[in-house]
Structure 1
Amino acid sequence: MKAVVHHAPPGFDGLKVTEMKEAAPGRGEVKIRLKTAGLNHRDLRVLNRPRDTDDPVILGSDGAGIVETVGDGVSGIKEGDEVVINPSLNWPHQSPAPPEEFDILGVPTRGTFAHSIVIPAGNVEPKPEHLTWEEAGVLPLAALTGYRALFSRGGLKAGEHVLIVGIGSGVSTFMLSMAKAAGARVTVTSRSEEKRSRALELGADTAIDSDGDWQEQMKGEKVHLVIDSVGPATFEKSLGRLLPGGRLVTFGETSGPHVEIPLRPFFFGQFTLMGSTMGSSEEFRQMLNLVSTHKIRPVLDRTYPLSEAPAAFLRMKAGKQFGKIGFQIS
């Protein structure tokens, strides 16, 4: 089968499309014939991730397709079922932090950028009926990450005001849709005027320039919750927009891994700082219920055939996308 793999050496030079052998499901597993998949920033990071072997490994965490084969001991799933893949491995129940055995589908396990994948039966869920295959294939990782950040960690409630820093990524566009569906007010930031305009079209109440004066642009208004995955470039500005007792959730570090926290405003403001990563299978099902109930659709940037995977990776690396980049597989 055709697959997008990473081989030695590290970086883009090891990225290629090649033939890989298909696997058969073992006990408790299912084989999915993939129709679509989605690209995430994680797929960029794993290009430079140290590995125990130089053997090629199939990339990809997002995917949707049709159950082709059901292994022994599997119940509740049958051949022909249309499913989406939960990329969160070994994290069955919602908890403050993932268990030690938690991992994410795709490196070191075989990923979704291929014609088929074998995964544990517990990691497939019915495809939301209102979504196209292209939409379903890009849903899982980003929507789960956004759901946990907003609700499980951030505790967002109807009527609250949330600030989403850095609109344009798959996660941030999902959070915009989810927050509006939950009855929250949403302010977003971006350096790109085009991305700010797109966010307003999607329902954002306010869109401000990341490089400008946030206090001035928001007319002094502050928020209950900030979701900041940018890091040091925006962290202090984010703190400055919190109401007393406000919460800040972070799940990324696109501008660097270290921040300085001004302690006096932090403790006088009674702020809460929380980290978030992916989510559990329980939260994945909660997210799917929210998506289905409110008919939330992913924002699609572009869809590429697997043969053009390097171009998709380069588009994401350049930060040109608005929403999710997908792959058409079959």
Structure 2
Amino acid sequence: MKALVLKSPESELSYEDFELPKPGNGEVRIQVKAAALNHRDVWITKGQYSKIQYPTILGSDVAGLLDDREVILNPGIGWGTETSFPHKDFHILGMPSYGGFAEEVIIHSDQVFDKPQHLSFEQAAALPLAGVTAYRAMFTKGKIQAEDKVLITGIGGGVALMAFQFALAMGATVFVTSGSPEKLAQATEMGAAGAVNYRDPDWSKQLKEMAGGFNLIIDSAGGSGFSQLLYLTRPGAKVVTYGGSKGVVPDISPQLIFWRQLSILGTSMGSPREFANMLSFVRERKIVPIVDSTFDLADGQRAFARMEEGLQFGKLVLAGVD
């Protein structure tokens, strides 16, 4: 079969023949119709994951065919029985196991779910990692209610956009931030009640004037802006973090946290039950993930370049797999 193969850190992906091992006990062979990128794929190419063995195939988000059945794959492997956190052996499809940037992928049958029928293969491939991460952040941790005012930072990324769509589907009033005027305009067109550029020195003041305060904040950045987010909360609010792209958080006031009775919650990925519940929610509400652009599998290096530029609004998908 053909695949995008990573042979060493910092090397470009090579489109070439690759032989997968035979499926093991309980495993099935999936014909890949579309696969989406995540930031972790770029980080792996930079050598930031210690367990990687070369050569390898990346790609965690996959939609395809199991015989004639249209399927979507849960990329979270080995979560375990504890719902609050994953087992120590938990890993994500695409490292160390061979991933979906290929014509075929092998995975245990427990990870295979029916594709939502209202989604194309490309749209379905945009869903797994972003969808389950956003679902756990928004519902399990954030316990969103229809009357909530919600702030989602960094709109344009896959998880932030899915969280945005989930919150809108729940009937919440949603505000967003981004460093891109274009992304803010797109989010406003989709239904954001307010959109603020976090590069503005007074961004937090703007949000305070717009919303008054938030019941739920979903953040992917951390960094110095995180402490400012806490001042935008209402008493009893929840602040859920699933990323740290801006680094360490300085200068948090414990007094602010305990006087306002705030809950600061960390989250990443989700359990098999949350993945199934996320798919049910997507089906019921007819939610369609945002696809920024689609590339042929053979041209996957261009998709990685666009991911590194950070200009995308939605997911980058590799398709055109026969």
Task: Report the TM range for the smaller structure's normalisation.
Answer: over 0.9
Cα offset, 1:24, TM superposition? 2.9
CA contact (8 A) 1:59 1:112 kept: yes
Amino acid aligned to 2:54: D
CA contact (8 A) 1:92 1:282 kept: no
Task: Specify every segment of 5 or more residues in structure 1 that has no aligned partner in the other structure, as ranges.
Answer: 68-78
Amino acid aligned to 2:223: P
Matched, 1:3 2:16: no
CA contact (8 A) 1:177 1:203 kept: no
Cα offset, 1:265, TM superposition? 1.6
CA contact (8 A) 2:12 2:301 kept: no
Matched, 1:268 2:259: yes
Say which SS state the counterpart of residue 57 (structure 1) adopts. Answer: coil
CA contact (8 A) 1:38 1:61 kept: yes
Find 1:230's aligned residue among 221, 230, 254: 221
CA 1:97–1:316: 2 relative to 1, 3 Å: same
Find 2:117's aligned residue among 117, 129, 150: 129
Query: Could you say which residue in structure 2 is the equivalent of 1:43?
Result: 41
Cα offset, 1:94, TM superposition? 6.6
CA distance in 1, matches of 2:206, 2:76: 40
CA 1:87–1:50: 2 relative to 1, 3 Å: closer
Cα offset, 1:92, TM superposition? 5.2
Matched, 1:306 2:297: yes
CA distance in 2, matches of 1:184, 1:97: 27
CA distance in 2, matches of 1:169, 1:254: 12
Query: Could you say which residue in structure 2 is the equivalent of 1:32?
Result: 30
Amino acid aligned to 2:4: V
> Structure 1 stretch 178-187 or stretch 249-258: which is displaced more?
249-258
Query: Could you say which residue in structure 2 is the equivalent of 1:74?
Result: none
CA contact (8 A) 1:62 1:87 kept: yes
Cα offset, 1:258, TM superposition? 4.5
CA distance in 2, matches of 1:139, 1:157: 22
Query: Could you say which residue in structure 2 is the equivalent of 1:59?
Result: 58
Query: Could you say which residue in structure 1 is the equivalent of 2:155?
Result: 167
Query: Could you say which residue in structure 1 is the equivalent of 2:126?
Result: 138
Cα offset, 1:25, TM superposition? 2.1
CA contact (8 A) 1:23 1:117 kept: no
CA contact (8 A) 1:245 1:270 kept: yes
Find 1:283's aligned residue among 257, 270, 274: 274
> Structure 1 stretch 94-103 or stretch 186-195: which is displaced more?
94-103
Deviations 1:2-50 (A, max 9, x none): 1112212x22x25322221134322211110000000001111112134
Amino acid aligned to 2:76: S
CA distance in 1, matches of 2:160, 2:218: 9
Query: Could you say which residue in structure 1 is the equivalent of 2:205?
Result: 215
Task: Specify every segment of 5 or more residues in structure 2 that has no aligned partner in the other structure, as ranges.
Answer: none
CA distance in 2, matches of 1:53, 1:155: 36
Amino acid aligned to 2:37: L
> Structure 1 stretch 276-285 or stretch 229-238: which is displaced more?
229-238
CA contact (8 A) 1:186 1:204 kept: yes
Alignment of 1:189-208 (within 5 A): 189-208=177-196
Amino acid aligned to 1:82: E
CA contact (8 A) 2:220 2:244 kept: yes
CA contact (8 A) 1:224 1:243 kept: yes
Identity fraction in percent: 39
Matched, 1:112 2:100: yes
Deviations 1:98-139 (A, max 9, x none): 122211111111001000011000001000000011101111
CA contact (8 A) 1:93 1:281 kept: no
Alignment of 1:69-84 (within 5 A): 79-84=67-72
Say which SS state the counterpart of residue 156 (structure 1) adopts. Answer: coil
Amino acid aligned to 1:184: A
Q: What TM-score do you get using the length of structure 2 for normalisation?
A: 0.94
Amino acid aligned to 2:125: G
Cα offset, 1:97, TM superposition? 1.1
CA distance in 2, matches of 1:92, 1:286: 17
Deviations 1:156-209 (A, max 9, x none): 111111100110001111111111111211110012111011001111111112
CA distance in 2, matches of 1:22, 1:101: 22
Report the RMSD for the aligned CA atoms in angstroms: 1.6
